[in-house]
Amino acid sequence: MVMPMPASPGQPAGKLDPLIERLWRAFREQLVAAGGFSITPPCEEYVRRFITDGARKLIKSHAEHHQVVEAEENIRNLARQMVEEARSENTRILSESVFFTVKSRLCPLWPFC
């Protein structure tokens, strides 16, 4: 079954759960593209909350398609920066410390923080 995209040109962001999944998928795809970095369960929880907060802001503001695309790129940027931070620590595991270090560097990062 194909899931409908949460936003199409000229339409608001859509429903929360598909939007959260779309953003989470963008984050995970970036980890795969970087060569298969893994994420600790606590770090995953922080990232998921971060994504959920951003998705809620998108829904609340009736975000347009281009804004959802921008949010996707911003979450990919978070993932890229987390990968770089992990590499600088000579690990392929994204931990909570990696998340908080990168978050403090990137925020404000619309619509997440």
Domain-located, residue 7: no
pLDDT 10s digits, 29-87: 999 999 989 999 999 999 999 999 999 999 999 999 999 999 999 999 999 999 999 99
Domain-located, residue 71: yes
Distance from C-alpha of 97 to C-alpha of 87, rounded to nearest angstrom: 13
Domain-located, residue 111: no
pLDDT value, residue 8:
44
Instruction: Give the total number of structural domains in the chain.
Output: 1
Domain-located, residue 40: yes
- Which residues span the domain enclosing 45? 16-106
Domain-located, residue 9: no
Instruction: List all residues 6 or more positions away from 47 whose beta carbon is below 8 Å from its beta carbon.
Output: 24, 27, 39, 78, 99
pLDDT 10s digits, 91-103: 999 999 999 999 9
Distance from C-alpha of 2 to C-alpha of 61, rounded to nearest angstrom: 26
Helix (H) or strand (E) holding 87, with range, is helix 65-88
Query: What pTM was computed for the model?
Result: 0.86
pLDDT value, residue 36:
85
Domain-located, residue 91: yes
Domain-located, residue 5: no
Question: What's at 25, amino acid-wise?
Answer: R
